[in-house]
Amino acid sequence: MRAALLEEIHGELTIHDVRLTDIGPNEVLVNTVACGLCHSDLHFIEGTLPQRLPTLLGHEAAGIVEAVGEDVTEFKPGDHVVGCLNAHCYRCSQCIGGRTHLCENRLALQKRANGTSRVRFGDEEVFQLAGLGGFGEMMLAHESGLTKVPKELPLELGALLGCAVITGVGAVFNSARLQAGSTVAVVGIGGVGLNIVQGASLAGAERIIAVDLNPDKLELAKTFGATDCVNAGETDAVEAVTELTKGGADVSFEAIGLAATAKQAFQMIRPGGMTYLVGVSPAGTDYGFAGNEMVLKGRGVQGVYMGSNYFKRDVPMLANLYLQGRLKLDELVSAKISLDQINEGFAAMQAGTVARSVVIF
Ligand code: APR
Ligand code: ZN
């Protein structure tokens, strides 16, 4: 199959013919229909998150089941599926505690049972990001790393549920468990931030303040439910949010992954408020919060991994919200591109001009 490989840090992705291994007993072979380009993929390309090379990136993917392993009962050929970043075992203490997104065995489940990769380029093993590798024409994944979605859901939109949407909406529903009537600030209005905005809107927030540097992103945020916008390039974002909320937001979310914006997000909550850190930062980043700014003001900071998702529960729920007309997905797609245009798609992300580019196979 054709796949876009990362062979060197800072390099362009290169299209090669690669091979998938035979289907293991608990694995599912999927014809990839669509895969979104996420900022986390860019972290690997830029080397800010280290990764083994060569790597097959792409983790926001959806497709149609082609074949299943002998022990798989949940899926059959023809099923429409969305890929999950965190395959899970249902047996470790995290899974038993209901935190399948933190499964202790997820890295093992992203490989074959014998510990080798499911993707080969010649004789070489190719690292399969998230056990999916959505930038290839086919995905071979562990059954726990997929979930079925209704066939009425267009798969190019279903793909987005697997990362941007679940990360953003999940941060609101699962981590913040946002109370209706809350005041919310969202710093960073990319694919993830837009979904925090629409999650807060679905949860009944009274005020949703979008903060970004890009006026186009702020306009888009309004259509996703933002009640106010702050251009952090023109005004002091902390002062602006503090003034709009008369003393600080109840809850803030950071969806970029920078120390400076994480600090801003923390400084714009009121005493007793909470900041949720959603953006993935370059390896080694130190956010450096002052302890007494938390203790004496009863404020907190919580990291949120992948919207604290329970994938097989949350993704079908989000699909149904879309089919009922209550969740925006079409508006997240700024560009549909071919696999051959993938480097242009990442260049557009670096330029900050798009919400999501989606590769259509
Ligand atoms: N202040 C405000 N906004 C900023 C700033 C800043 N200093 N710097 C960047 N931004 C905005 C950009 O204008 C853009 O709209 O942050 C947004 C980031 O969006 P994307 O690049 O589309 O990133 P996204 O895919 O949403 O991911 C955000 O979450 O999943 C993680 O790894 C991912 O760390 C990344 C984060
Ligand atoms: Zn992602």
**Mind listing the domains of the chain with CATH numbers?**
2-148+329-360 (3.90.180.10), 165-305 (3.40.50.720)
Residue 299: its pLDDT value, please?
97
CA 145 to ligand 2 centroid distance, Å: 14
User: Who has greater pLDDT, 353 or 103?
Assistant: 103
Residue 352: its pLDDT value, please?
79
Cα(104)–Cα(97) distance, integer angstroms: 12
Is residue 11 pLDDT above 90, yes or no?
Answer: no
Q: First-to-last CA distance in the chain?
A: 11
CA 246 to ligand 2 centroid distance, Å: 34
Is residue 289 pLDDT above 90, yes or no?
Answer: no
Compute the average pLDDT of residues 122-131.
94
CA 60 to ligand 2 centroid distance, Å: 6
- Where does ligand 1 bind, in terms of residues with CB under 6 Å? 38-40, 43, 167, 187-193, 211-214, 217, 232, 255-257, 261, 278-280, 349, 352
Q: Hey, what are 23's tokens?
A: 């289907």
Q: Whose CA is nearest to atom 3 of ligand 1?
A: 212
Report how far apart, in Å, the C-alpha atoms of 34 and of each of 17, 64, 146, 189, 228 are. Answer: 18, 10, 14, 23, 33
Position 79, amino acid = D
Q: Whose CA is nearest to atom 32 of ligand 1?
A: 40
Segment 138-185, tens digit of pLDDT: 999 999 999 999 999 999 999 999 999 999 999 999 999 999 999 999
Cα(222)–Cα(230) distance, integer angstroms: 11
At 125, is the pLDDT very low, low, confident or very high (cuts 50, 70, 90)?
A: very high
**Test site for ligand 1: of 35, 37, 39, 42, most ligand atoms within 8 A of the Cβ:** 39
Mean per-residue pLDDT of the chain: 95
Closest ligand to Cα 236: 1
**Test site for ligand 1: of 234, 256, 263, 350, most ligand atoms within 8 A of the Cβ:** 256
Is residue 351 pLDDT above 90, yes or no?
Answer: no
Nearest ligand 1 atom to alpha carbon 40: 32
At 217, is the pLDDT very low, low, confident or very high (cuts 50, 70, 90)?
A: very high
Q: Whose CA is nearest to atom 29 of ligand 1?
A: 279
Is residue 49 pLDDT above 90, yes or no?
Answer: no
Please list, in sequence order, all residues whose beta carbon lies within 8 angstroms of the beta carbon of residue 41, skipping any fewer than 6 positions away.
57, 58, 59, 129, 346
Q: Which residues are catalytic?
A: 38, 40, 43, 59, 163
Q: At what angle are helices 191-202 and 215-223 packed, to 10 degrees?
A: 30
Q: Whose CA is nearest to atom 2 of ligand 1?
A: 212
Residue 184: its pLDDT value, please?
98
- Torsion from C-alpha of 111, 115, 119, 121, nearest 10 degrees: 160
Segment 321-339, tens digit of pLDDT: 999 999 999 999 989 999 9
Is residue 355 pLDDT above 90, yes or no?
Answer: no
Q: What percent of the chain has pLDDT over 70?
A: 100
Residue 350: its pLDDT value, please?
87
Nearest ligand 1 atom to alpha carbon 42: 32
Compute the average pLDDT of residues 207-236.
97
